[in-house]
Every structure is written in structure tokens, then in C-alpha cells.
Structure 1
Amino acid sequence: VTNIQKDIDVQRKSLRQINDRVGSLDRLLIDSHILLEKIRSTIQRGDKSLPEVDKFAHILSRESPYIYTNEPRFPVTERYISWKIQFYSYDPTIISLPKEHVCFKDSERPFVEPDLLKTTSDDDDHVTLTDEYENESPVIADTDATSSVPITQPDLYEAIETPATTVTNDIIIPFTDFKWNQIVELQLSNGNKIIMDRTTWIKSLEDNTSPTYPLDPQLSIPLNPMGRTGVRGRGALIRWGPNKSIMAVITRWKMHHGEIALIDGQRILQALVFKHKSTNDWKLPGGKILGVESPYNAICRSFNKLAFKDYNSEQSLSVQEKDMIEYFQSFARLSLSTTEPTGFTSSMIYRGYIDDLRNTDNAWAEAEIWNFHYDSDISLPNLRTDGMAIWKDITNNSRGILIQTSILREIARIRNAYFE
């Protein structure tokens, strides 16, 4: 009997070892599958324009380990990205970085939302949003204004800044007051207000109704509408649900000896870009949409700061889209010494999902990107001359511009400009 028991123990140990090896091989197979998907996506992205949302599979949002941590994402192959597909073994880690983490700028920390999963598990009935902002502004930042085309952007938020206002008290937000898929106005203790926009810009090609994102049926928190990412929580993003930004690409035709420069018979576009002090990359004007100013005011104020070193532009919630367009039109009139907006066009290039390294199952990045184009050889008065602002050629070989190549390609396509 003793020998039989020993044999059984040996067999059990062998079975455990076999199970461990099978599990390791299964994980290796999944990792290899994901790697092949990334290679395929990289090859396809080099030749194609923006993909359709219903056919899009995020890549950076499944990158492991999770950015700023050593935590691996739960492996998710393309087959299991959609929430509609049952994935019984799915068990992602939970990551919600605190506002003190180095991934957040000082001016962003008051906006960083608490860990709702921890709050929920602790049966707490409220969360706190610190009402304390620094005097350093949160600016970030087919041609259809409601484009539903997802893009891949690892560095979008590095290309932008943050809003400026000053308040001193905390705002207590009951957990039940997180109004998902809604826009609500909160009154601050100093009389100012903040607009909490928790709606999404992500639209399905088959759905013409107002877009909404799903909620976790048990926890009642947002679910990434583009599917699983291998991580739960808020991650390294500021808000639960959509984290919106806005950005402007300001373009003109490249001139050579008084004539528009050509390559293979096509005109060459240039974009006005601004040097990032810490990375030396070239960024674009824009802002994170955090609710203390309108997104269109963020673009104008950011441009004033980056182009003219104007640090005194005020925040405003009243600046509308037409005001922003009029602001950039004024440079065309000034350049041509006319009251007519000659040679100026504006268009929204993209609005929707951003495939970002920080995305999780419960928080994700979205962006609205505008193109302001000047047909004339625009000369901006008082444009800084310290080397921090330059006109840079837009081509497929553009380097150091913190914006996805697919967006530059789309702008070149719209303007019928050289890109390859």
C-alpha cells in the first residue's frame, strides 16, 4: 500500500509538471501569435490609409509590460479582443497609477481620478477630486468631421500641455455621480465651473446614433469600446472612460525661389512645429480636454504660447469652433493685407479612438485633430526666432514629429500633396 501511495504521489507530481509545461507552451504560443499580429500590422500600416473602426484591432493597447510598470498585460490575441467573444480564462491585472506618479505633470495631478475599483471594493461612497490647479495650462493636444477611424499614437500626450486656473478646496464627487456617457457641469468653490465630458467620439460605421461605450455589468464602470487590452483599471490615464485631447496641424506650401516646390509634379506641404524642451521632438499646438476651458480655446491659447511666447492668454469655456477658425483665418488676411480670408481652409481630419500604450479595459485615449492650411506663403508676425518654431516638410520620412504618420498621410491626400 505504501509503494502504491508513493507511485500515486509521483504520478501526481508528474501531472503537475506536465500541466505547468502545457501552460507555459500555451502562453508562449499566445505571445508568438501577438508578436506576429504586431508584425503584420506594422507591414500593413506602411501602405494603407486610416483603417475602418469596425475592422480595427488595437496593437499598442495590448503592449506588454504595461507602460511605467513591470506588470505584464494578460495576453489577448486579435481573436479575443472583442467583448462579444467569450474569454473564460481572461484574468487581467488591475493598474491605476496614483496622481503622485511621475507619469503625471504637476498641473495634471488635481485632475487624476481615484481608483474606483479600490473605492468600490472598500465600499466607500464617494471619491475626491482635488480642486487645485496650477498656473500652467493643460493644453494638449475620410475628412468627415465625425470620422470613425482609429489611429495608433504612442506619444500623443507628450505633444501637448495642460490648463490653468487656481482653486484651493476639494470637490467631493459621490460614486453615483460619475455620469458615464454624459456631459455634466460641476461648480467649484471659487465660483468657477468645470465641464466633465464623459461621452465618446468613437462611432461604428453601422451605427448612426449618438455613440456610447458599454459598462461593466457588475462594476458599472466603462469598458473600452475597442475591446480587451489585458489590463483593468485607470492605468496611467487621468480619467476613467474616454480621455480626450485636441490638436492642430498648421500647414502651408513649401516655397523655392518664389515658386511652390515640387517633387514628381506634386506640391510639398510644410507643418509649423514647435520643439519639445525635454525631448527635442517637434510637437503641435493643442490641449488635453479637462473641462476648465473649451477645446477650441486650448488650441488658440497653446498656439499663442508656442508661436509667440504669449503666456498671458486666458482660459475660456465660451470659445467655439467658429471662433477658433476665425482666429487662424486672421493670419491669412494679415499675410495678404486684405480683409478677405483668401487662401485659407480648415477641416477636421480625425475624431475618435487613439491606440495608446496607456489604454486599459476601463480607460482609453481619444483625439480631435484639425488641419489649418494656408495656400499663400504665410508669414506670421512676431513668430519666435529662437529655433523653437520651424516649418517642417511633411513626407513619409518625417522624423521627430509627435503625430501618427497616418494622419500626415491623410492631410497630404486631402491637399493632393507629395508624401512618399
Structure 2
Amino acid sequence: MAQDYYDLLGVSREVSPEELKKAYRRLARQLHPDVNDADDAADRFKEVTLAYEVLSDPQKRSVYDRGGNPMGGGASGGAGFGQGFSFDDIMDAFFGGNNQRGPRSRVQRGQDALLRLTINLAEAAFGLTQELKVDTAVTCTTCDGSGAREDAAPVTCGTCHGHGEVQSVQRSLLGDIRTARTCPTCRGFGTVITDPCDECGGDGRVRSRRSLTVTIPAGVDQGTRIQLTGEGEVGPGGGPAGDLYVEIDVERHPVYSRQGDQLLCQVTLPMTAAALGTHLDLPTLESDLPEGALDRETAATVPVEVAAGTQSGDTVVLKGQGVQRLRGPGRGDLVVQVVVETPTHVDDEQRALLQQLAALRHEEHPEGTLNASHKNVFGRIKDAFR
């Protein structure tokens, strides 16, 4: 004798349709061959599916409760399934709820936009306010983003009847399998714009060039991106705009280079100035800015004192003369590297003076001084010959 369908599903004979579906979902998750590798899982899955097919159909359930054959002459032992069974219940068991997505909204968020802005090093260091010309999608003013003419409105799609998708039924061993795909007529919106706006062609937005004022903070560097919320592309259907990103490109400076919040430069001095010491006036980075760009009074130069006996490669650090810190108060330093230049051509008088200086310093035939690491190398070579 075949097993009782109510017992198979673990429910009473007074079970409601909602409780019956919950019970079947629970068993289907446990017994489906894709998740259960037991030898009898497939057979038990077919049995509970057949039981649910019978008990979920009011007419078949009534026949079964009276002791008749609910399959109309077919076997009731679970070898096959009835003609009216829907595979949607199996999909519900694994994915939960109704698997229909429904129509999608015409109003969608717009895409983000990217704009590159080239500035000089001084503008990057101290910031600026710049007016930009931006070419993006904006809401169509003729239809206010609806996409339809003023005297028209979208109508329900006759293909999907407003669902946004169409279903097809395919016979299989598990019963009738329903599959859904986006409606080709309305593209999933559920409605069709039969009389589109002349300005935007039904999209709800048009391309337009507009002016935008952006504030570049002090301390930005090459590749820094500034986010302007809601200034990007307006979405289809007049949806909310995406964001606009302004990417900074910093021009190469003829004197200064940048390392973090430090400014670096090189100063070439003759050997006499390096030996005796000297005073320099370096042009400031602020001098590259237009007049009135900074609130405070800007000096055109900054003094640099080079001490007597400065060697080539020595540095002079000027505190607080670098780049404004992007995150945090204050400025970095200006690092000046000194390069001592040796004359390559001297006349007779200059040569005589240099020879006189060498004699006074007992440097007519200098032997030179080796670095410690080099001295160790030569010392090892000398020891090897010994």
C-alpha cells in the first residue's frame, strides 16, 4: 500500500495551503539530489513532490481524501508527476518566495563622471577655486524626465501585461518548468511609451554643457580625486545624478619638485662661494600665484644662508616653506641642495692665484682621502700582495 501523502509531508489532514507549502519547501531543501547525496534521496524527493502536487490541488486533494485516484488513472506511487504541477514550487523551496522579479523602474541612478584638471605646482600647494565646463546628461526640461509628451503617458505593455517579463512553460520529468525572461517589448519596464518626448526621445534626459565651480583644497597631488556628490550623469527617467570626480594633473615646475609635503630644489654655486659662504634669495612658490590669490601678504623671495665650507651635496632646510598639508595644519619644508661647481677653464692669472692658494694650504700635491669602505678594500688588496 502506498504511503499516506499527509504522512510523507509530515502534516495533518486539516493542513492549510500555506502550511502545506512550508512543509514541502522544508523537505525539498533536505531531499533534493543536488544537496543530498543519499542513495534514496532522489526517490524520496519524487515522493514528496508527488504528494505536494496532489495535496496542493483542491480537486486532486478532494479525490484523494475520498479514496480515489487523484492522478486520473495514473500510478500514485510516485513514478511520474501530473500535468498541472509547476516547478516554481521547487524554485521557491531553494530561493524563497515568488521568483518573479516584476517590472523595473524607469527611474535609475545615473553614472559617475570623471574630469581631469591640469594645475600648476603652486595651485596644488595652496589650492584654488576653478570654474569648469562639464558636459553631462541632465533632466529633460520638456518632459521633466518622464520620457513622454505632455499630453501622453506610458501605457501597460500588451505583451507582458505590466509584469516586465514573459514566461514560457516546458514539459520535463519533474513537471511543467516555467522560465521567465525580460519582456522584449517593454524591456522589463511593464509599460510602453507610445508617444515619446520630441526632445529626449523617451529617455528622460538630454546632453548639456553647464558651468560648475569647484574648490581644489590646498595640498592636492598628482592623481588626487575630488568627489562632487550629485554632479555626475542624471539617470534614465530623470533619476538621481551620479557623482563627478575631478582628477588632478600637476604640471612639472621649472625649479621645484615635490616629495610629499616637502619642496626640493638644487642650487649650483662656484667653489669660491661654497668655500667663503654666501647669501641667496630664492623665488618662493607663492610668487607663481596671481596677485591676491592668498589672503596673507606673499613674499616674492625667501633668504637662504649658505655657510662657509659647504660641500657639494649638502642641504639647507627652510622650515615651513614647503607644501600645505592636505590632511592636517601647517606646511612641509623646503630642502635646498647645494651643488659646488668646479671651473673647467681658467686663464693664466686665475691659475697663478689658484696655485698660490694651493701653496698656502699645502695642497700642491694632495694625495686625496679615501672613504672608509674604499680604504678597507685597498687594505685587503695590499695585505694580499704582502
**TM above 0.5:** no
TM-score, normalised with respect to structure 2: 0.19
User: Which protein shows a greater Rg?
Assistant: 2
TM-score, normalised with respect to structure 1: 0.18
